[in-house]
């Protein structure tokens, strides 16, 4: 399963009410580091699809949720379990670092 696009309108059902953990990548089209980690997140999404859903939220098109979460710098990754944010990571990192961080939090 590839990454899922999440919006302000779908955040409640896609993330907070999800039946498994969801990693949300807060990003924007103009963000170079966001584009750098996108392929890694796609691969991780495929590799860990049975354990976690990886979702992307464009902060320019969806300002409400990022604003409520205090997102000030991107890329900003937040792992949600049972509707609660349990871990976060800011900035770009290599795929192996992202995957090992995520697996350690699952």
* The domain over range 4-97 is classified in CATH as 3.40.50.300: no
Going by pLDDT thresholds of 50, 70 and 90, the confidence category of residue 2 is confident
Task: Say what the pLDDT of residue 1 is.
Answer: 56
Active-site residue, selected from the candidate residues 34, 54, 57, 77:
34
Report which of 71, 68, 22 is spatially closest to residue 49, judged by C-alpha positions.
22
Residue 34 annotated as catalytic: yes
Asked if 31 is an active-site residue, the reply is yes
pLDDT digits (tens, 9 = 90+) for 27-74: 999 999 999 999 999 999 999 999 999 999 999 999 999 999 999 999
The residues spanned by each domain of the chain are 4-97
| Reported pTM | 0.96
Residue with tokens 């392929």: 39
Alpha helix ranges (H) inside the chain = 11, 32-47, 64-69, 95-105
Please tell me which residue in 31, 41, 65, 71 is annotated as part of the active site: 31
Q: So what's the pLDDT on residue 32?
A: 97
What is the dihedral angle through the alpha carbons of 97, 69, 75, 31, rounded to the nearest 10 degrees? 180
């Amino acid at each position: 399963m590839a990454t899922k696009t999440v919006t302000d309108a779908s955040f409640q059902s896609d993330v907070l009410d999800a039946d498994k953990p969801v990693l949300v990548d807060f990003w924007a089209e103009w963000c170079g580091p966001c584009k750098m980690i996108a392929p890694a997140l796609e691969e991780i999404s495929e590799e860990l699809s049975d354990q976690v859903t990886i979702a992307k939220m464009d902060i320019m098109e969806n300002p409400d949720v990022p604003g409520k979460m205090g997102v000030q710098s991107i890329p900003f990754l937040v792992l949600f379990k049972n509707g609660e944010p349990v871990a976060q990571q800011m900035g770009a990192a290599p795929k192996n670092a992202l995957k090992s961080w995520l697996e350690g939090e699952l």
